[in-house]
Amino acid sequence: MVLALAPFLAATDPDQAADALVAQMTLDEKIQLVHGGYTFGGPAGPNDAEEWVSGIPRLGIPDILYSDGPNGVVVGPGTALPSSMASAASWDLNEARKFGQAIGAEVRAAGMDSWLGGNVNLVREPRDGRTFETAGEDPLLAGSIKAAHLAGVQDANLIGTLKHYALNDQETGRLMANSAIGERGARESDLLAFEIALKESNAQSVMCSYNLINGTYTCQNDDYLNGVLKGDWRFPGYVQSDAFASHSSAMSAMAGLDQEEPGGFYFGGAWDVSLESAIQSGAMPEARLDNMVHRILRAMFAAGVMENPPAMGTFDADSDAAVAQEVEEQGAVLLKNANGLLPLDAGKVASIAVIGGHADVGVLSGGGSAQVTPVGGAALTLAPECPATSVGTSGEACHNASEVYDPSSPLEAIRALATGANVQYADGTDIGAAAAMAGASSVAVVFVTVWTSEGMDLDDLSLPNGQDALVSAVAEANPHTVVVVESGGPVTMAWLDSVDGVLEAWYPGQKGGEAIANILFGAVNPSGRLPVTFPKSVADLPRPVVPGPSDPTATTPFDVDYNVEGFDVGYKWFDARGIEPLFPFGFGLSYTTFALANVQATAAGADVVPGFTVSFDVQNTGTRAGAEVEQVYLGLPAGVGDAPRRLVALEKVALDAGASQHVSISVSASDVSHPLSYWNARAKNWEIARGEYVVYVGDSSRNLTEAGRFYYPGPRRGGRG
């Protein structure tokens, strides 16, 4: 017997190292590695892991200890970072990597070696209670941001997991929702986000989801697991099921599932028993089990877990808190600033009425498996009001959740900056009293909150608990009103015309109060941009009502018809249908102004691998330093049937007042995002259509300059195009 072989193999190629270990393992040991334990309703795992897979000490294989989540470690107290959505709204991949690094350091310190937080599901359904965990509606932006999160997490030698594969875009009836979608629709939307995130991050683990796709549960979906993920994308790592998402043993394993997420087998049995009998009966060859184990072990080698097994440690709470503040300062989106109300002048504003949102104690966070217990403890914990859609099994999470406020008081942060002003607070429960206070103040700042969580969807996008009426009453008493929105995603704003300012702060994290105050008073110039379209009304969405099962207590699958919009997710739907959004994808204001000049696009040549370069000068034409997010969109030839435009590149440019910069961005058909291609479902391949392509550049999906056009004549004869 070789003692603790794994650490000695760590320097070798991960595949060879994995094979060397598999060759040493007994059948029982192999089976042990493909399923594990789950804390929910049972004993806590090693180091208090939520889920775990026991290692094999005689070979030096450590335990795999899992922690969620997308906005920070959830095992034990951790830094409550702003939501993943806020990170995406920075449109800044360096910032996103720092966000991932802070999470990674804390997951490591909690004694874990795997992170389950890479939620790259696209926001097809803005009422989805998990919107805050995602990175928005666009495959390129979401895929790139999540890749940066994963890269940051993997810097701490953790196995990074991308989830929930795939098309898990609503919570209503989540265990029986059948996502119905055509191949092209899927490839050019949700699957593309996964493909980008996976290839750009080299993540080693993918979690299959609860839902069905076209009639088959994702964790036993051969087309999606063996076909797309392992076949087309050559994913070398392992597929794990979401908790309770495996529905069979040999059938799932043969379809490509490699590890039943600790938690067991919801519908009877568990993999430890059922896989062994499947092998004994010949229903599953042992070679498949070897491949499953190989994939898990190669992931552990590739991530650096073998050399760096899980151990409890400490983390630098101050530096992670600084990251939390910076991400919020980069990710909050200024949506309206009429009459130059913002930034507030700390020396001139005489009185400020701060109203609502529990702003006296903290800022809101999102619930479910992504819920972080903030360092220092929650400022406030309330029982949530679960929407009517939160019923049945998928609603359990909502009903078990708490509405947690992170300890960062915007009121105190405002007081600290507005030293000369009389700053008063009203909690907003008495609308008349709040309006009276606003009327007697120079400025009113209303904090509004929309709590969301795994296990629920919102019924609509208006503000709950009478907050729309509160804003309207305050604005009527004082038009110099700023609304700060703490939400997981889009909200509708019936009162928009009556207020001067709106700041979308998302779930701001445990330095959110300070970050918001810095933006309100101009210590920070806002530079966040929307990663999701804000609709005027839910009637403008592909599905005005979130589809649900006719009997929420039954387990019969029901259809969620994604063929309605296909690949036209988010802004593409609004553009294709000519619907005016409330605020478009990519939009966000600054306290300075920018101008573009010398905009041009040059085709890289009508070659087998076409592409183009777009170049321009961007100038900060205002009086303060600031950052602009330049967005490059491409219109494909009309006959292709795609949306009018798709995002193909982005760059955030920071400029001092008056400064300018020449920017040149190249886009190639060979980029991982397939920027020039459409999915040809008949040929089962990405193809580039013959025809005219239009390149646009601008600061939102609805404020674009045409940079140029080029004609692609099709692949050269004999070419590979």
- Token digits of residue 227: 């076909």
260 binds ligand BGC (CB under 6 A): no
Instruction: Determine the Cα–Cα distance for residues 120 and 277; give it in Å rounded to an integer.
Output: 35
Site string for ligand BGC, 485-514 (x = CB under 6 A): ------------------------------
Q: Does 131 bind ligand BGC (CB under 6 A)?
A: no
Closest to ligand BGC by CB, 337 or 371: 371
Which ranges in 482-602 belong to alpha helices (H)? 512-520, 571-577
The contact pattern for ligand BGC, residues 541-580, with x = CB under 6 A and - = no contact, is: ----------------------------------------
Closer to ligand BGC by Cβ: residue 50 or 200: 50
CA distance 140 to 146: 10
Tokens 């609860």 correspond to what residue? 210
Tell me the C-alpha distance between 250 and 400, whole Å.
Answer: 33
Q: Identify which of residues 242 and 320 has a Cβ nearer to ligand BGC in the complex.
A: 242
Nearer CB in complex with ligand BGC: 116/629: 116
Nearer residue to ligand BGC within complex by CB, 32 or 369: 369
Strand partners, 158: none
CB of 264 to ligand BGC, least distance (A): 13
Least Å distance between CB 209 and ligand BGC? 8
Which of 8/266 has CB closer to ligand BGC?
266
Q: Is 482 helix (H, G, I), strand (E, B) or coil?
A: strand
Answer yes or no whether residue 200 interacts with ligand BGC by CB under 6 A. no
Closest Cα to residue 399, out of 258, 552, 252? Answer: 552
Give the contact letters, 28-57, x = binds to ligand BGC (CB under 6 A), - = no.
----------------------x-------
Q: Kindly tell me which of 118 and 126 has the beta carbon lying closer to ligand BGC.
A: 118
The whole-angstrom separation of Cα 583 and Cα 490 is 9
Nearer to ligand BGC, 167 or 341 (CB): 167
User: In angstroms, what is the minimal distance from the CB of 242 to ligand BGC?
Assistant: 5
In the bound complex, what is the minimum distance in angstroms from residue 395's beta carbon to ligand BGC? 12
Footprint (CB under 6 A) of ligand BGC, residues 412-471: 454
Q: Minimum CB separation from ligand BGC for residue 85, in Å?
A: 15
Q: Residue 645 is which amino acid?
A: R
SS3 663: strand
Nearest-angstrom CA–CA distance, 558 and 173: 8
DSSP-assigned states of every residue in 271-313: HHHHHHHHHHHTSS-HHHHHHHHHHHHHHHHHHTTTTS---B-
Residue 699 has φ and ψ, to the nearest 5°, of -110, 10
Nearest distance in Å: CB 118, ligand BGC: 10
Residue 366 or 635: the one with the smaller Cβ distance to ligand BGC is: 366
Q: Looking only at residues 266 through 295 of this chain, which bind ligand BGC when binding is defined by CB under 6 A?
A: none
Residues 686-715 that bind ligand BGC (CB under 6 A): none
Name which of 136 and 635 has its Cβ closer to ligand BGC.
Answer: 136
- The upper half-sphere exposure of residue 36, i.e. CA atoms within 13 Å in the direction of its Cβ, equals 28
Q: How far is the CB of 133 from ligand BGC (least distance, A)?
A: 8
**Is 243 or 443 the residue whose CB approaches ligand BGC more closely?**
243
Smallest distance from ligand BGC to CB 206, Å: 12
Nearest-approach distance from CB 454 to ligand BGC, in angstroms: 6
**Closest CB to ligand BGC among 370 and 627?**
370
Residues 343-362 that bind ligand BGC (CB under 6 A): none
Q: Measured on CA atoms in the order 170, 457, 515, 376, is the torsion positive or negative?
A: negative
d(CA 582, CA 578) in angstroms, rounded, equals 13
Question: Smallest distance, Å, CB 585 to ligand BGC?
Answer: 25
CB-based contact 500:337 (threshold 8 Å): yes
CA distance 335 to 571: 17
- DSSP label at 637? P
Q: Tell me which H or E stretch contains 199.
A: helix 190-201
Minimum gap (Å) between residue 103 Cβ and ligand BGC:
14
Q: What x/- string results for residues 372 through 411 when contact with ligand BGC is judged by CB under 6 A? A: ----------------------------------------
Smallest distance from ligand BGC to CB 91, Å: 25
Q: Which is closer to ligand BGC, CB of 51 or CB of 575? A: 51
**Is 68 near ligand BGC (CB under 6 A)?**
yes
Tokens encoding 226: 């063996």
Residue 116 contacts ligand BGC per CB under 6 A: yes
Minimal distance in Å, beta carbon 104 to ligand BGC? 16
Residue of 47, 87, 369, 481 interacting with ligand BGC (CB under 6 A) = 369
243 binds ligand BGC (CB under 6 A): yes
Kindly state the greatest CA–CA separation across the chain.
81
Residue nearer to ligand BGC on the CB measure, 59 or 116 = 116
> What's CA 71's distance to the chain center, in Å?
9
Which of positions 629-668 make contact with ligand BGC (CB under 6 A)?
Answer: none
Residue 364, beta-bridge partner list = 405
Using CB under 6 A, pick the residue from 97, 163, 295, 298 that binds ligand BGC.
163
Residue 461 forms beta bridges with which residues? none
Backbone phi, psi, residue 84, to 5° = -55, -35
DSSP-derived 3-state class of residue 11: coil
CB of residue 243 vs ligand BGC: minimum separation in angstroms?
4
State the Cα–Cα distance between residues 546 and 125, nearest whole angstrom: 8
Q: Which residue lies nearer to ligand BGC by CB, 68 or 628?
A: 68
Residue partners of 97: CB distance under 8 A and separation at least 6? 148, 149, 151, 152
DSSP at 17: H
d(CA 85, CA 364): 14
Residue 84 or 620 with smaller CB distance to ligand BGC:
84
- Cα distance between residue 288 and residue 286, in whole Å: 5
Q: Tell me the residue nearest to ligand BGC as measured from the CB.
A: 369
Minimum distance between the CB of residue 393 and ligand BGC, rounded to whole angstroms?
A: 11
Distance (Å, rounded) from C-alpha 176 to C-alpha 190?
19
Of 219 and 463, CB closest to ligand BGC: 219
Number of residues that bind ligand BGC (CB under 6 A): 8
Task: Using the minimum distance from each CB to ligand BGC, give the nearer residue, 243 or 418.
Answer: 243
Closest CA to 135 of 117, 151, 153: 117
Binding of residue 67 to ligand BGC (CB under 6 A): no
Rounded to whole angstroms, how far apart are CA atoms 133 and 82?
A: 10
Q: Are 81 and 103 in contact (CB under 8 A)?
A: yes
b/e sequence 410-428, b meaning 16+ C-beta within 10 Å: bbbbbbebbeebebebbeb
> What's the rounded Cα separation, in Å, for the pair 656 and 666?
25
**Are 509 and 363 contacting, i.e. CB atoms less than 8 angstroms apart?**
yes
CA distance 285 to 707: 57
CB of 207 to ligand BGC, least distance (A): 7
Task: Report the residue from 171, 242, 457, 565 that binds ligand BGC according to the rule CB under 6 A.
Answer: 242
Smallest separation, CB 245 to ligand BGC (Å): 8
Where on the chain is the footprint of ligand BGC (CB under 6 A)?
A: 50, 68, 116, 163, 242-243, 369, 454
